[in-house]
Amino acid sequence: MNKKKWNLAPYLLILPSFIYLAVFFAWPMVRSLQLAFVRDSQILPVLAEADPDADVVGRLEMQTQVAVVDRTRLDEVLPNGRTRPVYWFKIVGETEGGEQIEGWTHQKNVFIESRTTSETARVTSGEGAKEWTLDYVERMINDYRFTNALKTTLILIVLILPIQFVLAIVMALVLQAQLRGSTIFLYIYAIPLGISDLAAGLVWVSIFTQRGFLNTFLQQIGIINEPFIYLSADHQNWMIVAIVLAEVWRATSIVMVIVVSGLQAIPREYLEAGELFGASLWQRLRHIILPLLKPSLQVALILRTILAFQVFAVVVAITGGRVLTVLAYETYRWYDPGDSGFNNPNMAAAYAGFIMLISLAFAVFYLRTVRTQEEAARE
């Protein structure tokens, strides 16, 4: 009986994808989680004797106050062959858990006022150590800007996504209808795709500023007599409106492209059958198009929600990031080594990990709720 030959070709084709995911996704994600949950610290090993090779009897944290109960003076040989006097101190201290440690340590590891007479000292150096901690997560949650950033981010998602999907479906239906001049509509819809996030934000800043297009237009038609300041700390609702309009204008085309591809996969016979039986446009949309579009809508929902959690440049362009903040801006603020940031990668990693976690939660929610009949029947 001939053995079936193992075909390696599919595995070789998949290998580059695995390498890409490992290098550009898995490894950065692991490093980010390490920054968020692992703390680099210095721990002093306390020795049984005044000898660098002696056994370790315990470890003390930095800045621990200790009692000096004994001391000894030894001669240390330098690399050039000369000797110098050094002190070893026998210390007694307590760990954070309340355990009492007694042993010897070198003078370089403690701060002591007088090496010959002082009876107390403070631990100032030791060996590098890594420990798991939730301190950065707790600090993030207790950060006074965290609640506002999360609230604003969720408000933007709740406002932006419904508007984008309604507009994207309408735009896709217009293109699918193949009306005369529909190609022009496609070019118009695709214009924002060629504009960066920051540029889109600046476009809408020029509309809402004190001397922007909106105030100029309203003054010309006589609705207002003097410019209204939309983008200010006193009018945060208008800031949210500006951000929503900028994001809808900039990113609706992405959803439209996904919806158009889904519409093209729907057999025309289904739509023609609906027309034949007298179904209105709304009935065809509700009972034929939307159910068959669920896979495409699922992809679009996941993509747009993840991108909405990452909205950054538009918010910074319109609000400066300080008056109205979002999660992505707080991540940048904690990481930024400049004058406006805190240069704290651990806190930035905690914010980034939170964004990833909440994005995954929404993705799982969409995968469970927006399902086709075939997917629901298989469970």
In which band, very low, low, confident or very high, does the pLDDT at 329 lie, cut at 50, 70 and 90?
very high
Do 106 and 178 lie in a common domain? Answer: no
Confidence check: pLDDT of 377 > 70: no
Confidence check: pLDDT of 374 > 60: no
* Among 109, 131, 153, residue at a domain's last position: 131
For 304, other C-beta atoms within 10 Å of its C-beta total: 22
Q: Is residue 206 included in any domain, yes or no?
A: yes
CATH number for the domain harbouring residue 198: 1.10.3720.10
pLDDT for residue 323 = 86
pLDDT for residue 20 = 86
Tokens found for residue 237: 């609702």
Do 157 and 296 lie in a common domain? Answer: yes
**Each residue of 88-101: pLDDT tens digit?**
999 999 987 788 99
Tokens found for residue 69: 């109960």
In which band, very low, low, confident or very high, does the pLDDT at 4 lie, cut at 50, 70 and 90?
low
**Each residue of 254-306: pLDDT tens digit?**
999 999 989 888 888 888 888 888 888 888 888 888 888 988 999 999 999 99
Q: Is residue 376 included in any domain, yes or no?
A: no
pLDDT for residue 91 = 95
Instruction: Count how many domains the chain has.
Output: 2
Report the percent of the chain where pLDDT is more than 70.
96
Q: Is residue 202 included in any domain, yes or no?
A: yes
What stretch of H or E contains 23? none
Do 69 and 146 lie in a common domain? Answer: no
Q: Is residue 231 included in any domain, yes or no?
A: yes
For residues 87-116, give the mean pLDDT.
91
Q: What is the DSSP string of 163-181?
A: HHHHHHHHHHHHHHTT-TT
Higher pLDDT: 34 or 339? It is: 34
Task: Give the CB-side neighbour count of residue 26, counting CA atoms within 13 A.
Answer: 7
Q: Is residue 361 included in any domain, yes or no?
A: yes
pLDDT for residue 376 = 53
Confidence check: pLDDT of 160 > 90: yes
Confidence check: pLDDT of 373 > 60: no
Q: Report the alpha-carbon distance of residue 307 to residue 77 in Å, rounded.
A: 61
Confidence check: pLDDT of 1 > 60: no
pLDDT for residue 309 = 92
* Among 106, 131, 156, residue at a domain's last position: 131
pLDDT for residue 375 = 55
Q: Is residue 29 included in any domain, yes or no?
A: no
pLDDT for residue 57 = 92
**Each residue of 215-242: pLDDT tens digit?**
999 999 988 888 899 998 888 999 999 9
Higher pLDDT: 97 or 374? It is: 97
Do 177 and 326 lie in a common domain? Answer: yes
Single-letter amino acid, residue 72: T
Do 276 and 340 lie in a common domain? Answer: yes
Q: Is residue 31 included in any domain, yes or no?
A: no
Are the CB atoms for 201 and 209 separated by under 8 Å? no
Do 273 and 315 lie in a common domain? Answer: yes
DSSP reduced 3-state for 102: strand
Confidence check: pLDDT of 134 > 70: yes
Residue in the structure block whose two tokens are 């000096």: 68
**Phi, psi angle pair for 141, to nearest 5°:** -65, -35
pLDDT for residue 46 = 93
Burial classification of residue 317, based on how many CB atoms lie within 10 Å of its CB (0-12 exposed, 13-18 middle, 19 or more buried): buried
Range of the domain at 212: 138-370
Do 119 and 153 lie in a common domain? Answer: no
Confidence check: pLDDT of 379 > 70: no
In which band, very low, low, confident or very high, does the pLDDT at 85 lie, cut at 50, 70 and 90?
confident
Confidence check: pLDDT of 141 > 80: yes
Report the percent of the chain where pLDDT is more than 90.
44
Higher pLDDT: 13 or 354? It is: 354
For residues 143-165, give the mean pLDDT.
94
Confidence check: pLDDT of 80 > 70: yes
Confidence check: pLDDT of 372 > 70: no
User: In the chain, which residue ranges form alpha helices assigned H by DSSP?
Assistant: 9-21, 27-37, 135-142, 146-176, 182-190, 197-208, 213-220, 236-264, 268-276, 281-284, 290-292, 294-309, 313-319, 327-335, 345-369, 373-378
* Among 99, 131, 163, residue at a domain's last position: 131
For residues 68-84, give the mean pLDDT.
86
For residues 110-125, give the mean pLDDT.
91
Do 147 and 71 lie in a common domain? Answer: no
Q: At what angle do helices 294-309 and 146-176 cross, to 10 degrees?
A: 140
Do 175 and 78 lie in a common domain? Answer: no
Q: Is residue 21 included in any domain, yes or no?
A: no
Do 105 and 243 lie in a common domain? Answer: no
Highest-confidence segment of 5-9, 76-80, 318-322, 363-367: 363-367
Do 119 and 146 lie in a common domain? Answer: no
Do 127 and 147 lie in a common domain? Answer: no
